[in-house]
Amino acid sequence: MKIKPLRDRIIVKRVEAEGTSEGALIIPDTAKEKPHQGVVKAVGEGRILENGKRIEMHVAEGDRILFGKYSGAEIKIEGEEFLILQPDEVLAILDDTSLPGKPPGSDYPKPKPKTRVK
């Protein structure tokens, strides 16, 4: 089934976290927190202002985003769970386009070392 959100709504599929903790303990499903990351599955056309101009959406299908813990409305379509979010509930867009062979964030400038005055 294809779903198209209206106006400035965003359909998001949560990205599931792994089932083990840092200490290699297996966490049961009932104790897990829902992830705060997701992949955008569909995007509305944007909100229309009173003057007739349309505000374009800042996210696109396939973007990986961060959202708040209690954001959105949960829906279930054909057995799959999705969230319907508004643009102001999206906290950040994650950039997965790191260069091959470099760890994420290594392309940022290194901070200058602090010098002490005696």
Question: What's the pLDDT band for 18 if we cut at 50, 70, 90?
Answer: low
Rg, Å, the chain Cα set: 19
Q: What is the mean pLDDT of residues 57-78?
A: 89
Contact in structure between 110 and 81 (CB atoms under 8 Å): no
Q: What is the pLDDT of residue 72?
A: 87
Q: Phi/psi of residue 98, each to 5°?
A: -65, 150
In terms of Cβ atoms closer than 10 Å to its own Cβ (0-12, 13-18, 19+), residue 47 is middle
Q: What is the mean pLDDT of residues 13-21?
A: 67
Q: How far apart are CA 84 and CA 23, in angstroms?
A: 34
Query: Cα separations (Å) of 8 from 4, 65, 81, 89?
Result: 11, 16, 20, 11
Q: What is the pLDDT of residue 34?
A: 66
Question: What's the pLDDT band for 110 if we cut at 50, 70, 90?
Answer: low
Question: What's the pLDDT band for 99 if we cut at 50, 70, 90?
Answer: very low
Domains and their CATH numbers in the chain = 10-94 (2.30.33.40)
Tens of pLDDT along 35-53?
A: 688 999 999 998 888 998 9
